[in-house]
Structure 1
Amino acid sequence: MKITCKRQQLNEAVLNVQRAVSTKSSVPALEGILLKTGENEITLCGYDLELGMTTKIEAQVEEPGSIVLSARLFGDIVRRLPAETVYLATDEKKITSIKSGPADFSIVGIPAEEYPELPAITGETSIRIANNILKSMIRQTIFAVAESDAKPIHTGTLFELSKNKIRLISVDGYRLALREETAACGEETSFVVPGKTLGEVLKLLSDDDTELEIQIGRRHILFQIGNYCVISRLLEGEFLDYKAAIPNTSSTEIIVSTRSFIDSVERVSLLITDRLKSPVRCVFEDGEIKVSCSTSIGHANDQLSAKIDGAGVEMGFNNRYLLDALRNTEGDEVKIQLNGALSPMKILPREGDAFLFLVLPVRLKSEAQI
């Protein structure tokens, strides 16, 4: 294999593809990036048997071929090359020469035959959606994906497709995030995409309204985002019946400035550390939200004005879970619905129902409020 390409394009491709490479594997090839020539282009591929990513960049191909190079070493080399162009050549012993300006490296490669094939998608269902819409949907739900493997299915986000709607749902036992948009999806189907995959897809999505294609197979999903193709296995199992977890009624409704509420919770949270955990106490009544916190190093009190309809209520929350939900609302004001001290807090947009977040309360100790 002999090729010449632009260093900047190669560096960007390696940086992205590298994220799908296995950091530690019993198959040495999986710790590398597969480079394969095409017609005036080179394909780069990273794969860890669960998530795969491929992309193509322009290249002058003098001699076709393929090689697997250590992702860590190749990435470090490309990032530090001095000139605008890069020359790559691989000999029959799989020694790969990388030249750029005065810099010249020789590294040992692995035969491409040892690299596992990416799974093929039998495109049973295919949908198109704008980059910026999918980006917003993932961003507003990924924070509630479970981090522990207690229920592996909840380490992913549930996608529900109907004829004219796409809905994403994440749950982790303490909170729920739901986001829906109008989209022409065709047939009704549902599947669960790993949170890790969505994290990588999120980094590749742009802020414009160009469309990307999603192909859904029986066990795998493929995202075609510009020059990048992300393929992932789907999670199997029984996802939580989230509709049953959403309260249908509320006794208190609050309209509040999102920024003001975030600032207030952040202020009283200064007393909370990994070692000193304590719930944030919120009292909703008389047009005010009183926020307080008490730990062994001190007490903090704050308050902000809000429009409150219904019965007054006092609740406790994990500060991180409450802040995660508020920070992902993407609106100046939010509507909060409560149904007593032990029912989940429901956070909605002031108008419409594009998203819905649930945050479970923490049972407060019965002593008087500080």
Structure 2
Amino acid sequence: MKFTVSKSDMTEAVTNIQRAVSTKTSIPALEGILISATEGSLELCAYDLELGITTVIPSTTQEPGKAVLSAKLFSDIVRKTPAETITISVDEKNMASIESGFSKFSIIGIPAEEFPELPKLTDSTVIELPANLLKSMIRQTLFAVAESDAKPIHQGSLFNIEAGKLDVVSVDGYRLAKRTEAVVFPEDISFVVPGKTLGEILKLLKDSEEPVEISAGKRHILFKIENYTVISSLLEGEFLNYKAAIPPESKTDVIVRTRDAIESVERVSLLITDRLKSPVRCLFEENEIKLNCTTSMGRASDQLSADMTGENVEIGFNNRYLLEALRNTECDEVKIQLGGSLSPMKIVPKEGDSFLFLVLPVRLKND
């Protein structure tokens, strides 16, 4: 195998697909990148048995062929090469020589046959979404994916298409994030995509109207994003009935400027550390939100104005969960809906229903 490629194309491709390389494996080939040279193009593939990323870049190919090269070493060499082009050749003993300008490297490769095959999708359902819309839907829900493996199904986000609406939902036992958009799709379908996969998809998506093709099979899902293809296992199990978890009504409605609320919570959170945990106590009364926090280091209080209707309520929250919900609203003003001091706080847009965040309260001790 022998080919020449542009350094910038190769660096970008290797940087993006390297994230699917396995770091702990008994199969040496999975710690590498599969390189396949054909006439005029080069395909690179990384796969950790759960997530696979492939991409195609232009190349001048003298001899077609395939080989697996160590991902870490190869990416370091590619990034540090001095010239604008890189020429790579691999002999029949899988010894790869990499040349760029005056730099020359020889590294030992692995036979391509040892690289596991990527899964094939059968009976898949294809959905198309603009890249910027998919990016926004993932970004606004990914923060609430469960980190613990107590319920593995919640380590991913549910994609649920029903009656012409797509809901993307994440839940971790303490909060829920839901993003909704109208879609034109003839049938109802739902599947759960691992949070790790969505994190990688997010890095590949651009803020453009370019369509992203999503093919959902029974056990795997495939995303086509420009010249990248991402294939991932789906999570199996019973996802939370999120519609039943959302409180149907509220006793208190509050309109607040998002930036003001974030800054106020950040100020009273200055006394909270990983070692000194304490809830942020929020008192909603007479068009004001009074916040305070007490730890063994001291006491902090703050307040901000808001438009309020309904009953006064005092309620406590984990500061990180409250901040992450507010930061992911991505709008200037939000509506906060409360059903009492022990009901979840609902954060929604001032108008419309494009997102909904639930944050469970913390039971407050009397001072």
Which bracket does the TM-score occupy, shorter chain normalised?
Answer: over 0.9
* Distance in 1 separating the partners of 2:66 and 2:24: 22
* Distance in 2 separating the partners of 1:200 and 1:300: 39
Identify which range, 52-61 or 184-193, moves more after superposition.
184-193
* Distance in 1 separating the partners of 2:282 and 2:130: 38
* Distance in 2 separating the partners of 1:350 and 1:277: 31
Call closer, same or farther: CA 1:246–1:163 in 2, change over 3 Å.
Answer: closer
Count the aligned residue pairs. Answer: 367
Task: For 1:289-328, list aligned pairs within 5 A.
Answer: 289-328=289-328
> What residue is the counterpart of 1:215 in the other structure?
215
* Distance in 1 separating the partners of 2:216 and 2:205: 18
Task: For 1:246-325, list aligned pairs within 5 A.
Answer: 246-325=246-325
* Distance in 1 separating the partners of 2:355 and 2:38: 44
> What residue is the counterpart of 2:82 in the other structure?
82
Deviation at 1:186, TM superposition (A): 2.2
The letter of the residue matching 1:298 is: G
SS in 2 for 1:93: coil
Identify which range, 82-91 or 115-124, moves more after superposition.
115-124
> Are 1:96 and 2:96 an aligned pair?
yes
* Distance in 2 separating the partners of 1:219 and 1:187: 18
* Distance in 1 separating the partners of 2:123 and 2:264: 49
> What residue is the counterpart of 2:347 in the other structure?
347
Identify which range, 274-283 or 177-186, moves more after superposition.
177-186
Deviation at 1:38, TM superposition (A): 2.0
State whether residues 166 and 185 of structure 1, in contact with CA within 8 Å, keep that contact through their aligned partners in structure 2: no
* Distance in 1 separating the partners of 2:255 and 2:328: 16
* Distance in 1 separating the partners of 2:142 and 2:197: 10
The letter of the residue matching 1:286 is: E
* Distance in 1 separating the partners of 2:145 and 2:232: 17
* Distance in 1 separating the partners of 2:264 and 2:364: 19
Deviation at 1:39, TM superposition (A): 2.4
Which stretches in structure 1 are left out of the alignment for 5+ residues? none
> What residue is the counterpart of 1:140 in the other structure?
140
* Distance in 1 separating the partners of 2:163 and 2:10: 40
Deviation at 1:101, TM superposition (A): 0.3
Deviation at 1:123, TM superposition (A): 4.5
> What residue is the counterpart of 2:42 in the other structure?
42
Which stretches in structure 2 are left out of the alignment for 5+ residues? none
In percent, how many aligned pairs have the same letter? Answer: 65
1:71-116, CA deviations, whole angstroms, 9 ceiling, x for partnerless residues? 1110111010000000000011100000000110000000000000
The letter of the residue matching 1:271 is: L
1:56-77, CA deviations, whole angstroms, 9 ceiling, x for partnerless residues? 0000110010000111110111
The letter of the residue matching 1:341 is: S
Deviation at 1:330, TM superposition (A): 1.1
> What residue is the counterpart of 1:244 in the other structure?
244
* Distance in 1 separating the partners of 2:365 and 2:323: 22
* Distance in 2 separating the partners of 1:218 and 1:262: 41
> What residue is the counterpart of 1:166 in the other structure?
166
User: TM-score, structure 1 length as denominator?
Assistant: 0.98
The letter of the residue matching 1:184 is: V
* Distance in 1 separating the partners of 2:185 and 2:138: 17
* Distance in 2 separating the partners of 1:31 and 1:215: 27
